[in-house]
Amino acid sequence: MTKKSTQQTPIILPHPNRLLVIEPLDYPNPYDFSIPHRHDYFEIILIESGKGHQYIDFKPYEMKSGQLYNVYPGQVHLMHRHNAQGLLIQFRKDLFEFIQPLQHYNLYISNPVFNPDAKTFSHLYSITQEISALLAQEDLPQLGIYKAYSYLQIILISISEMQDKSITLGNHHLVSHFLSLLSQNIYSKRKVTDYCEMIKCSHEKLNNACKSALGKTTLELIHEELMLEIRRLFLLSPLSLKEIAFELNFDSQANFSIFIKNKTGLTPSELQTSILKNS
């Protein structure tokens, strides 16, 4: 990554009247995909062949055939396809109204890359092609649309099954719900009690679930998400450091600086310089 984006507003799905879109990996993006960006929809990436690399929330990933990636709304993303070929599944959060009991927060997964066995990948890729064929039909009837959504549900359930088997279903549901709320409310809510009230569970239950699933306390995850959003704004936002501190609801620029210094050992300006240098 070599260029700073001034894009702070998330990129929207280019088909405003469709909840679900399938595109080839090399489709002509309607935005400048050569610079870091974030969008407001979910994206499942299936790599059929070839190689490339991508960055998801500042972490590099080498793309290989047979891999699957999950990128959720708000994450900073940049992909260099090189000779990689495959398919993209893009869908809005609204779609989850039609595929219950799955919820959008079931896709808020800390590790975005999956390496299924060849048989599983081939199955998921074939299902994605089936969705694409359905959506390509003119005047697709309502039942056909629901059929496409049902195929997507199979893919999303498979992704959930490929997660760490040590995470129990109950804990995963609770933790993924928390992570979803965290990403949506980090600008205004920083206390563990805020999230316990929204989820309607005790501090102890949420904390134990987070430690069991991710090895971190609830407060540690809140601070990690806050630092991640700071890094995103340092990369994507045209705002000054003072304005970013205000945007994130710090009560003073001094406390903003203290928080960053405690977490990284760097001043805000040093951290931003480091991020831009490596991006």
Question: Which of 119, 145, 161 is where one domain is finished?
Answer: 161
pLDDT the model gives residue 168? 45
Residue 230 reports pLDDT greater than 80: yes
Residue 186 reports pLDDT greater than 90: yes
Number of domains within the chain: 2
CATH code, 228: 1.10.10.60
CATH code, 97: 2.60.120.280
Torsion over CA: 247, 253, 255, 257 (sign): positive
Whole-structure pTM value: 0.78
Q: How far apart are CA 87 and CA 84, in angstroms?
A: 10
Question: Which of 138, 161, 184 is where one domain is finished?
Answer: 161
Same domain, 26 and 125: yes
Same domain, 206 and 101: no
Is residue 142 in a domain?
Answer: yes
Q: Which domain holds residue 66?
A: 20-161
Q: How many CA atoms lie within 13 A of 163 on its CB side?
A: 24
- pLDDT digit string, tens, across residues 200-229: 999 999 999 988 877 889 999 999 999 999
- pLDDT digit string, tens, across residues 134-162: 999 988 888 999 999 999 999 999 998 88
Same domain, 248 and 131: no
Is residue 107 in a domain?
Answer: yes
Same domain, 36 and 81: yes
Q: How far apart are CA 156 and CA 104, in angstroms?
A: 10
Q: What is the mean pLDDT of residues 105-134?
A: 93
Q: How far apart are CA 151 and CA 128, in angstroms?
A: 8
